[in-house]
Structure formats: C-alpha cells, structure tokens
Structure 1
C-alpha cells in the first residue's frame, strides 16, 4: 500500500485528488494539508511514502517546502503537481529534491503512474518539464551573462553576507545590491538568493 499525503491550498483540488487516488487499490490517502506549515506537521505525524504537493501555497512553499520535507522526512518522496512550469519553478524544485514534476492537466492515469514511480524512488516528469530541463542543460548561461559586479555580489551572498554587508563591502547602497540581485535572478531564471547561489555554483559562475 502506498501511503499518500495531498497538499494544496484549494479544498476542491484536495477533494478531487483524494477521490481520484482513492479509486486505486494500492493507494491510501493518509493526510492532507492546505499550507506548507500544515504539510510539514502532517507529514511528520504520518510519514507517508509520497507527498503530492502544489508549489504555490501559504509559506513555506515551492523549493523551500521540498527541501524541508526531504530534510525532515527523508523517507517521503515529493511529487509536485502544479500549473506552473517556468524555469524559475522547475529547476529549483528539482534541485531541492522533488522526485517528480507533473502539471495539473495530466491525465489521471499519468498521475497514478507518477505516484507509483515516486514510491519506487523513480523520477517522473511531464513532457514539457523534461524538455525544459534538457534545453537548460544544452544552453547554460555563460559566465559573461553576469556582469563583474553581479558576480561580486553573488559571491558575497554565497558566503552568507546580508544585503547590507554586501553593500558595505562593495561600497554601494543596499538598494543597489537588491537591484543587482534582481538582475541575477532574471538572468539565471531563479526565484530567490538561495536558488541563485545553487544555480551559480552548478554552472561554475562563482
């Protein structure tokens, strides 16, 4: 029996997923949650095999929630089920440890296969997400895509410096630091500083 927790902030979606998964003899929905905080509590209590979760939730959400689930409940595989498939959503989430990434327009049989694959610790991606990952591998952002100042800012952020500390070290204002970081996020197509540092290390930019 594959024990599943459903995480989505829309009650209708949770009801629908619980109903669909309940049609399969080898699935048991053992909990549900409407926010990241609730998801962590439920997962810690019931220790499911698979957590099927949306990305956009009351915080923590997205890649941060995936990281927290994987660190606090390493036996639980995270299967993302969402409407969002941009690079800023997909890449940080996969890097954070999600075992699968499906879009909500996937047929129910595809969802069933994905849950079973996740329980076996096998990666499963929707075709559009797989294509996006392949494209990213083939066309990495070159070092020259980041300016010298942007690399300096990101290098200091990678050392754990706050925006104020980065500004003091580089003799620029905190607002300028924030502007440089926004440019970095856009160029690397990531949502936050942690993802930017991870992606920059992966590509050898810092």
Structure 2
C-alpha cells in the first residue's frame, strides 16, 4: 500500500462530483485533497499553486477540453499524474487526452475502492485505462456532424484546436495554408453560433461533437 501522502487536485465543474470525490479521498489515510478547480484555467493555475501529485480531471470543463488542459499541466509540471475522470466512455476527446499525456481514465460511476486503487497504481508508475477507448468513434461522430452541418475537415480542425494547437501548427499538420485554416474555423464558429474558439469548444462539447 502506498505510504506517502498523495495530494490530489480535483478539477470538475459539478459540485456533487466534488463532494463525492472529497468524501472518497478523505476516507483514505494516504490521500489528501490539494484543492479544487471548476474550469480548465483554474486547474492549470492550481498545478503550480497547490503542487498536487495527482489531478482528477473532468474531460469536459466549461472553458477547455481535456487534451488542452493535459498539455498545459504537463508543460508546467512533467511529473504530475493526470487521471481523466469522465462519465463519457465513448467521448472522442478521450484518446486525444491520452495522446497528450494523461496517465489514466476512470469513469465517474467507479466504486471508491476502485478509484483509490487506480490512483495507487498510477502513482506506482502504471498507466490505467478502465474503459475501452476507441481510436475513432466514426459512426457517432459522423452522425453528430451531419446533425449540426459540420464537415469532417471542420471537425478535424476543431479537434486540433481543442488539443491546444495553433493555426500554423494545424496548417502544417493537415497540409493547409494558414488562411485556409482560418476560413474553416470561421465557418465552424458560424455554424456553432460561437463568437470565439473557447465558446466554439464549449458548444461543441455540449453537443457531443468533441
């Protein structure tokens, strides 16, 4: 059993989840709650401020998606262990967040003992994914895109935005010009009724596209 006290940052925008996780962690002698965050920016700032060993990160926060938060956290503290904590086992952003460096995935309906076990294993150096993460849930994504009038190219660019890539990085990765990427993004914002990238990511997340 892990002996050292492990500090855990809980990043979730639902109070009931924060309360439930707090109770679960408090009943384990070697775990401590290092702090809370209810949006991506707060979570990133808390990594520097609270210095947690582990972050329980909701995949969908109001201002950012998991992949972007994971990248930013690891840039600040490469040693921090990030566990994606989600109710959406089939969410397209799961694989992207794991590719960005997350150390595990746990569903929100997981039993307390199982959550504690996952944290212990990740602290010990394992990578633990407790759900079947599909490489590309193509059928579901394509249906969602059709419902909201988005093309696959617009989706690919939006997903890269969610991973924190800049327009030049997206252009290089997809073999497009920067102006073309900008045009695709503008069309995507218009279709989603969003004023900026953050709002577009939030709306796409709410619609189940990201």
Q: Structure 1 length normalisation: TM-score?
A: 0.66
Structure 1 equivalent of residue 10 of structure 2: 6
Listed as ranges, the matches of 1:17-56 within 5 Å are 17-56=21-60
User: Are residues 27 and 176 of structure 1, via their aligned partners in 2, closer, same or farther at CA, if it must alter by over 3 Å?
Assistant: closer
Aligned 8 A contact 1:166 1:177 in 2: no
Aligned 8 A contact 2:67 2:100 in 1: yes
Structure 2 equivalent of residue 86 of structure 1: 90
Aligned 8 A contact 1:54 1:82 in 2: yes
Residues of 2 paired with 1:98 and 1:81: CA distance?
A: 11
Aligned residues: 159
Q: What is the Cα deviation at residue 41 of structure 1?
A: 1.5
Aligned 8 A contact 2:10 2:18 in 1: yes
Q: Please state if 1:72 is matched with 2:76.
A: yes
Structure 1 equivalent of residue 99 of structure 2: 95
User: Are residues 163 and 174 of structure 1, via their aligned partners in 2, closer, same or farther at CA, if it must alter by over 3 Å?
Assistant: farther
RMSD of aligned Cα (Å): 3.3
Q: What is the Cα deviation at residue 158 of structure 1?
A: 2.2
Q: What is the Cα deviation at residue 128 of structure 1?
A: 2.7
Aligned 8 A contact 1:5 1:52 in 2: yes
The alignment partner of 2:92 has SS state of helix
Residues of 2 paired with 1:178 and 1:163: CA distance?
A: 16
The alignment partner of 1:106 has SS state of coil
The alignment partner of 1:128 has SS state of coil
Aligned 8 A contact 1:4 1:49 in 2: yes
User: Are residues 163 and 87 of structure 1, via their aligned partners in 2, closer, same or farther at CA, if it must alter by over 3 Å?
Assistant: farther
Structure 2 unmatched runs, 5+: 138-152, 158-168, 189-200, 202-210
Which has the bigger relative contact order, CA under 8 A and spacing at least 6?
A: 2
Residues of 1 paired with 2:15 and 2:187: CA distance?
A: 37
Q: What is the Cα deviation at residue 75 of structure 1?
A: 1.8
User: Are residues 36 and 162 of structure 1, via their aligned partners in 2, closer, same or farther at CA, if it must alter by over 3 Å?
Assistant: farther
Aligned 8 A contact 2:59 2:94 in 1: no
Aligned 8 A contact 1:163 1:174 in 2: no
Structure 1 stretches of at least 4 aligned residues deviating more than 4 Å after TM superposition:
153-156, 159-164, 175-179
Higher Rg = 1
Structure 1 equivalent of residue 121 of structure 2: 117
